[in-house]
Every structure is written in C-alpha cells, then in structure tokens.
Amino acid sequence: MGLFDFLKKNKEENYVEIFSPLNGRVITLAEVPDEAFAEKMIGDGCAIEPSEGSIFAISDAEIDIFDTNHAVSFDLESGLEMIVHFGIDTVKLDGKGFERLVTPGDVKLGDELVKYDLDFIKENAKSTRTPVIISNMDDVEEIIVVAKGEVKVGDLLMKVKLK
C-alpha cells in the first residue's frame, strides 16, 4: 500500500452506486417523451425502456410508493433522493396495470417492489420509458451512467458523486 492510496480510496467512497430497477435497454432522459423528464426539470439521471417484469429496489433505502403505484421514491442513507417513474402518463391509469408488493418503508437492494403488466401499459399509456432520476441535484457533483445497452435488474446503472 502506497503512502497516498488512502486518498484514492476516499475518492471512490464518495460515489453512490445505483443499480438497475428494471430489465430493459438504457436510454438518455432526452429520449423520454415528456418535457419535464427530457429537459431534466425534475432531476437528472437516465431512463430504461423496459422489456419485462417488475420494479426492484435500486439500493438499500427508505421508499415511498405513489398511490397509483406508477412511481417509487428512494431516500438513501447517503442523502441521495431518487425516483423511478414507470412510463409516461401512467398516473392516468389510476393504478391499473400495477401491483404493489411491499409497504412503504425500508427495503434492501434488489427487493421486488411493484409488478407491472407491460402489455396493458403499452396499450394504455403514452410510453413505458422509465426515468431513473435524482431529485436532489443540489447535492450532486457528478453522475456517471455506467450501463450501456441492455441491463438486467441489479446491474450497476450509475455512480453518483455527492458534494
């Protein structure tokens, strides 16, 4: 171990790892057909074009699930605040096509949170593209989207450096 190795280690520890909540293909927020997400008005991050399944926990966190089950908010111990918002205009489905599997509270990385009927949502919502966004950007110094192309639940999606 070199004299300054502890500095390198501390730099890496400043990054919070966020894991994929869905199976699908990683896309940019600009590819989401909603101005608020595409122009990063709500926050920054990336999006996933889902291929199947459920929404899973992106990290150990305290969660809340919107009444219509279309979005999950995450409060991480690091202070990072995130939202996984399944699809666009899915709030208008009033919970149809979604099944809540857990109650709000503490979850562990990889816990299954909400099941969704992808075919129903494709037919009844504007889009299934799912933003994975950081909502407290004032606390963020850097976002690195690590994943490219296809991802599976639990794959490293992004690294976030806090201020």
What SS3 state is found at 57?
coil
Cα–Cα distance between 149 and 49 in angstroms, integer? 10
**Domain range enclosing 32:** 20-162
> pLDDT digits over 6-28, tens only?
444 444 568 999 999 999 999 99
**Would residue 39 count as lying in a domain?**
yes
**Would residue 10 count as lying in a domain?**
no
**Would residue 1 count as lying in a domain?**
no
Active-site residue identified among 85, 113, 147, 157:
85
Contact 143, 29 (CB under 8 A): no
**Would residue 51 count as lying in a domain?**
yes
Cα–Cα distance between 55 and 113 in angstroms, integer? 6
Residue 128 has pLDDT above 70, yes or no: yes
**Would residue 76 count as lying in a domain?**
yes
Select from 121, 3, 149 the least CA-distant residue to 54. 121
Output the pLDDT for position 3: 52
**Would residue 85 count as lying in a domain?**
yes
**Would residue 82 count as lying in a domain?**
yes
Looking up residue 41, the CATH number of its domain turns out to be: 2.70.70.10
**Would residue 132 count as lying in a domain?**
yes
> pLDDT digits over 56-107, tens only?
999 999 999 999 999 999 999 999 999 999 999 999 999 999 999 999 999 9
Average pLDDT of the chain is 93
> Active-site residue 70, yes or no?
no
